[in-house]
Every structure is written in C-alpha cells, then in structure tokens.
Structure 1
C-alpha cells in the first residue's frame, strides 16, 4: 500500500481527537470527516470547439491526478444553442488518498498563488455541512504549464463532509488549514 498522505495522518492523529474533545461528541464516529471532493469545470464554448473540451479534461486530469469524466447537458436551452446530451463540462470525484493530496495542494500551494488573495469566503457552506469554492483560473495549480493551456477556465470545488451542520464542517476545515476570511 502507498504511504498515507500527510493531511490524512494529521486528521487521524491530531484533528479528530481535538474535535472529539472540543465538540463534546459521545462517539468518535460523530466527528466530522471529509468524505469526497468533487472538482468540476463548465466549458460552454465546447459546443463550438470540441477540442477545447478534450484540452480542459486533460488539464483537470493533471490537476487532480485522476481521469476526468465529460458531463452532458441535462436539458435543452434554445437561447444558449444547447441541446440535451451535448458535452459541456468535465468533473472528477476524489476520495481517499487522492482527495487528501489534492486538498493539501489546494490549501498550501494553489490558494496562496491566487492574485490578491485575502482568504476564502465563508458563504460557500450549504447548510448541510458541505463547502463549495470557486476558483477563477486553473493556472494557480503548479502542474499546469502556462504555454500549453488553450483557454483559462474556472474550477468549482465541492468539499463534502460528514458534518450535519455547517459549524462542524467549518471547524474541520479550519483545523485542516483552509484560510477563511476573518
């Protein structure tokens, strides 16, 4: 088996016991944990340029370390010249070791590279313990080569936790080191 990711070790040895004591849970199974991270990119221009979608899928695969899946439109929208079934985006669902490694790179490498970064907005919580974050450029990740990108696209990053309420998820992400705005 591969060696355990750094953030997973920190969670198991430090964060989980700390949250167990701070929140006053009765069972260690109540402690919030990150279940999965979904990274997606919407590429509306892919309707006219099919090669762009392939390029974006390759970039997302390089960023996450896992093959990206193309997503299709669920319904037709005439104003956007969109038909049901057209491929208009790509996504990756990360779990386990890849999830922790991606989160580590996002927090410690990519977010500090954002221009004029002042912290992550706390408005991304959905009320059920999940957090959504939007990144405007994929070039903040060091794996991306500036010369080879076809178009600068934004990323949607959804962190799904086992927390029932937002306060538990917020505390978990703060312990992981997510730099929230003060």
Structure 2
C-alpha cells in the first residue's frame, strides 16, 4: 500500500509547487530524498548499555535497525578515543520515510508540551532542513513508563532538486510541517 503522504505528493504537492515556482517539468520539482535521524549518546563511553537502549528505541520509532556511529578521531577534552561508540543513526528512504514523516508531523510534534511550531532557521544552503528534538517520548511507539532517561535526536530532511530555502520550506509546509509564524 502506498503511504498517504506519497499519494499527496504525487497528486497535490507537485502541481502546487510547479505553479508557485514556475517549474515546467514534473521531475524538476523538489522532493524529499531521505530522512536521517541521529542520536548522539555521549554517556555510551561509561556504559554501553545506554547506547544499546537508545538503538532499541530508535529502531522502535523508525521501524528500521540503526547503525552504531563511532568516533572518527580522539578528542581528549571529551575523553573520546578513536573508534569509541558515540551514537547511532538511521537513514529512511521511500515508503518508510513517508510513514515516519506522517507520524512526526501529525502525532509526535503536537505531543510536545507548549509546542508553537518548528523553527525555520534549520535550512542550509542546499535547502536541506535539520531539526532537533529534546526527547524520544513524544513518539507514540515509546512507552513513557519504561523510559529510563530522555534522549534527544537530530532529524535531517535531505531535499533534492531544491534551488532555494524557500522551495524547501514550501515543500515541507505542504507536507504539513508546522513552522513557527515569524512576527514582524
């Protein structure tokens, strides 16, 4: 079965983006290529079980097994040696990506206490968007009573064919991403 947001992208969003930005070819419309979710677990240096628990939670949230990230080089101030496990990440593509985006926008973000919208400052020059979450408990898959510690995560939306930040922001708005309204 095709994900709901993929159907919406094909049927509604492409035509809206083409008319708004004057794009002539349907293949030139900006599209989300992948979503990368990263959890940096600094406490893994003292106890590897913390990292294993975080990997388990990330797998529960995304439906895909994360890979362990290791330190590329030693940093003495943080007591990190080269090849120490320091986090985990998942790269979502295709159907699982759209399913995750649907759950993030419609279920997880509204569950954040005092949520006023996502900051629009997370765009880079290429039009990719990054947002940080402070706790994993906002996802309905995580049982809040079984949480031993709160763990934040970084979510990056890699958008291809985007010429500007405005195109990327409009694409995410059409998918339902709740951006903060800038006061003038």
Correspondence for 1:68: 66
Alpha-carbon distance between aligned partners in 1 of 2:27 and 2:94, rounded to the nearest angstrom: 17
Correspondence for 2:176: 177
Answer yes or no: is the 8 Å Cα contact 1:61–1:67 preserved in 2: yes
Normalised by the length of structure 1, the TM-score is 0.97
Correspondence for 1:58: 56
RMSD: 0.7
Moved more, 124-133 or 19-28: 19-28
Answer yes or no: is the 8 Å Cα contact 1:73–1:85 preserved in 2: yes
Correspondence for 2:44: 46
Alpha-carbon distance between aligned partners in 2 of 1:64 and 1:89, rounded to the nearest angstrom: 16
Alpha-carbon distance between aligned partners in 1 of 2:147 and 2:72, rounded to the nearest angstrom: 28
Alpha-carbon distance between aligned partners in 2 of 1:138 and 1:72, rounded to the nearest angstrom: 21
Normalised by the length of structure 2, the TM-score is 0.96
Runs (5+) with no aligned partner, structure 1:
none
Moved more, 104-113 or 17-26: 17-26
Correspondence for 2:116: 118
Number of equivalenced pairs? 180
For 1:69-84, list aligned pairs within 5 A. 69-84=67-82
For 1:141-156, list aligned pairs within 5 A. 141-156=139-154
